[in-house]
């Protein structure tokens, strides 16, 4: 009955790990980004060619897996390159959609209620990953805004202390406070 539970769990774990871990990376360089895109394209073309020997739904699944692998690599490369919460969210969404497309192709091997259940489970796994990615993005945004607000308040307090000084000492104190609280 729960045909995709192990797949859904793996999908959620991998995508979740990507979303959480990607937050630690700074924006990447263009050369690395282009290299990952070229690698994804070459791997896709090679994998897609291997699908030619298959037929029917097996061929469709093979092609969907090749497309999904390419999309995942490109999405992660773009997220690493841009280094923004939105880029990471978009990548998680693209990966979830790619995995969903593969799961739908696998469901085509089934019939009747089994197929309906299979498609609904695949859709549920995709939607859960998207919801988790959105929650992570929104949490990071709220955290960043809170840090920014704290820094503003702390800077104002520090700047007030600097007002008691004069001349170079005041300038140095103010500059130090600006650097410390990123103002």
pLDDT in tens, 118-159: 999 999 999 999 999 999 999 989 999 999 999 999 999 999
SS3 at position 145? helix
- At 25, is the pLDDT very low, low, confident or very high (cuts 50, 70, 90)? very low
In a 10 Å sphere around its CB, with 0-12 CB exposed, 13-18 middle and 19+ buried, how is residue 39 labelled? middle
Rounded CA gap, 150 and 86, in Å? Answer: 23
Residue ranges covered by each domain of the chain? 5-133, 146-180
pLDDT band at 28 (very low <50, low <70, confident <90, very high): confident
- 105 — phi, psi (to 5°)? -65, -40
Q: How far apart are CA 72 and CA 36, in angstroms?
A: 11
pLDDT of residue 27: 63
The pLDDT of residue 29 is 87
CA distances from 32 to 42, 80, 92 (A): 15, 9, 20
Please report the pLDDT score of residue 77 as a whole number: 95
Tokens 């949490």 locate to 139
pLDDT value at 3 more than 70: no
Which of 128, 127, 27, 30 shows the shortest CA–CA distance to 85? 27
111 has pLDDT over 90: yes
User: Are 156 and 177 spatial neighbours (Cβ–Cβ below 8 Å)?
Assistant: no
Mean local confidence (pLDDT), 73-78: 96
């Amino acid at each position: 009955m729960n045909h995709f539970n192990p797949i859904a769990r793996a999908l959620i774990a991998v995508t979740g790990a990507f979303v959480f871990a990607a937050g630690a990376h700074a924006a990447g360089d263009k050369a690395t980004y282009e290299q990952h895109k070229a690698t994804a394209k070459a791997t896709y073309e090679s994998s897609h060619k291997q699908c030619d020997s298959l037929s029917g739904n097996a061929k469709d699944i093979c092609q969907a897996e090749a497309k999904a692998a390419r999309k995942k690599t490109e999405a992660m490369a773009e997220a690493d390159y841009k280094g923004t919460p939105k880029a990471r969210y978009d990548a998680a969404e693209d990966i979830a959609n790619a995995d969903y497309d593969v799961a739908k192709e696998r469901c085509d091997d089934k019939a009747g209620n089994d197929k309906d259940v299979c498609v609904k489970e695949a859709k549920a796994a995709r939607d859960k990953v998207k919801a988790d990615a959105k929650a992570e993005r929104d949490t990071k945004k709220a955290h960043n805004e809170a840090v920014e607000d704290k820094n503003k308040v702390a800077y104002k307090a520090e700047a007030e202390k600097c007002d008691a000084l004069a001349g170079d000492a005041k300038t140095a104190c103010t500059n130090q406070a600006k650097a410390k609280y990123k103002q």
